[in-house]
């Protein structure tokens, strides 16, 4: 079982990532990967869409995902996929930080 705060953060981050894929990416494929290792839950959503342009501002959804991750002591990264697309990775601690 996951701690309720981590479960909610993981669900909301994955849901917002998938919403962004559908609304903005023009992707043909999308994948969601969950991995539990080293005391963390890693949530990764990747797509093969257009990706984020360098001059594209980060919207409310990306800010919300980042805030959800940091609120539970985790982190969120947004990276380009190879050869195209975007990879969102949240690393969420399964235990409260000391």
The predicted-structure confidence for 7-40, as pLDDT tens digits, reads as follows 999 999 999 999 999 999 999 999 999 999 999 9
Q: What percent of the chain has pLDDT over 70?
A: 91
Tokens linked to 50: 């257009």
Where is pLDDT greater, at 53 or 79?
Answer: 79
Can you name the residues that pair with 37 across neighbouring β-strands? 40
Domain ranges across the chain: 4-93
Q: What is the DSSP letter of 28?
A: S
In this prediction the pTM is 0.91
Residue 36 CB contacts under 8 Å (≥ 6 apart), including other chains: 42, 94
Q: What is the CATH number of domain 4-93?
A: 3.30.565.10
Question: How high is the pLDDT of residue 54?
Answer: 57
Count of CA atoms in the C-beta half-sphere (13 A) of 78: 20
pLDDT, mean over the chain? 92
């Amino acid at each position: 079982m996951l701690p309720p705060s981590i479960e909610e953060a993981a669900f909301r981050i994955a849901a917002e990532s998938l919403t962004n894929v559908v609304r903005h990416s023009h992707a043909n494929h999308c994948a969601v990967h969950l991995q539990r290792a080293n005391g963390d839950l890693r949530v990764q959503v990747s797509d093969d869409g257009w990706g984020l342009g360098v001059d594209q501002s980060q919207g409310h959804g990306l800010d919300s995902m980042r805030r959800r991750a940091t609120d539970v002591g985790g982190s969120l990264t947004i990276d380009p996929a190879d050869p195209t697309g975007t990879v969102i990775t949240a690393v969420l601690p399964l235990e409260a930080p000391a």
